[in-house]
Structure 1
Amino acid sequence: MSLQFTDAEFDGAWKELDEPQLDGGWELFTETMGVKIYRLYDKDSGLYEYKVFGVLSSCCAARCADVYMDLTYRKHWDKYVKELYEKDFSGQNAIYWEVKYPFPLSNRDYVYMRERRDLAVEGRKIWVILARSSSESLCDEKSGVLRVKDYKQSVAMESDGANGTKVFLNYFDNPGGNIPTWLVNWAAKTGVPGFLTDMQKACNNYSDYCLKK
């Protein structure tokens, strides 16, 4: 089953490492810990799409890509994961992900497709991972959990020339429900740097985790 990601989508992701595409209404949202977050207002949903540019200074790109792909390991280091696994849903291989939301908000869940490509571009090694929500309802929705049906994410990583990883991240999701705008903004402003910090720690601990498996 093809995951329906195109060569152009993979190329578009890694090229932002060289030339960020920020025309057409993108604005700098916040800058912290060497990470710049830009956002673009989406009129249809009233929400923002985000682009993130930064460096994970103590983790190589190949390991970052492996950690990003390892769903079992993520359940160990990402405190917001309630459930996360890959399986065959109605003949299609997809990922199920339930995310913990703070009380009194309902948890959200996702069913999405994902593909990784390790690219060689003019002597450079670049890792690109694309994901998007499935257009089909591959598994039943749970009572009390809101299904996120509009989700996309692209990640591109390569060496920063030293011991770290240069990262580009583009994402959008519509969590649905009546979530206050201030909470969505707060989550974007604090959640992304927090996630990158947690992921860097996870990368540094990955060798030990693999030895214990």
Structure 2
Amino acid sequence: MDLSYRKQWDQYVKELYEKECDGKTVVYWEVKYPFPMSNRDYVYIRQRRELDVEGRKIHVVLARSASVPQFAERPGVIRVNGYKQSLAIESDGKKGSKVFMYYFDNPGGQIPSWLINWAAKNGVPNFLKDMAKACQTFLKKT
């Protein structure tokens, strides 16, 4: 949820900020893609809720792509229109968390099979390691 912190630890963030539009929090996020590919950008609505399920506190974050006139497409950047994320986090009662995440996006354009294979084998696992490390560092700061 802390976009300024995300920019510190995520090497693929080129631009990331949020803006209130019509009473909703809209996020703009541009992701760096390797040369010779074009960067991708996302415009999405994000909501955060805290649920109490039989005394258990569960944090839920929902996000989905949205067409918002205040965020025009940029030349040279491919807009990701098919994006959806659902995230639920609960303490494990010790020093960790239980996390469920559903993530889908259609990055559009033509992505070479070597990059898809690299992302599946290395990119996603490395990103999850970076995110776990960032979460631990964040907790130490607060």
Please indicate, yes or no, whether the TM-score normalized by the shorter chain is above 0.5: yes
* TM superposition shift of 1:137: 4.2
1:130 aligns with 2:62: yes
Tell me, yes or no, if the aligned pair for 1:89 and 1:139 is still in contact at 8 Å.
no
Q: In structure 2, what is the Cα distance between the partners aligned to 1:132 and 1:147?
A: 13
Contact 1:111 1:134 in 2 (8 A): yes
Question: RCO greater where, 1 or 2, for CA within 8 Å and sep 6 or more?
Answer: 1
Q: Deviation per CA, 1:164-202: give whole Å up to 9, x if none.
A: 111111111111111123422431342332222112211
In structure 2, the partner of 1:150 is 82
Out of 91, 95, 101, the position equivalent to 1:163 is 95
How far the C-alpha of 1:209 sits from its partner, in A, is 4.9
Aligned-residue offset at 1:99: 0.1
Task: Tell me the distance in 2 between the aligned counterparts of 1:91 and 1:144.
Answer: 30
Report % sequence identity. 65
**How many residue pairs align between the two structures?**
142
1:139 maps to 2:71: yes
Given the alignment, which residue of 106, 114, 128 partners 2:38?
Answer: 106
How far apart in 2 are the matches of 1:137 and 1:191? 32
Q: Which residue of the partner structure matches residue 88 of structure 1?
A: 20
Q: Give the counterpart letter for 1:197 in structure 2.
A: K
Contact 1:90 1:138 in 2 (8 A): no
Separation in structure 2 between the aligned mates of residue 145 and residue 136 of structure 1, nearest angstrom:
16
Runs of 4+ in 1 over 4 A off after TM superposition: 89-92, 207-210
Report the TM-score, using the length of structure 2 for normalisation.
Answer: 0.89
Letter in 2 for 1:125: K
More strand by share: 2
Aligned ranges 1:1-12 → 2 under 5 Å: none
**RMSD between superposed Cα atoms in Å:** 1.9
Per the alignment, in what secondary structure is the counterpart of residue 205 of structure 1? helix
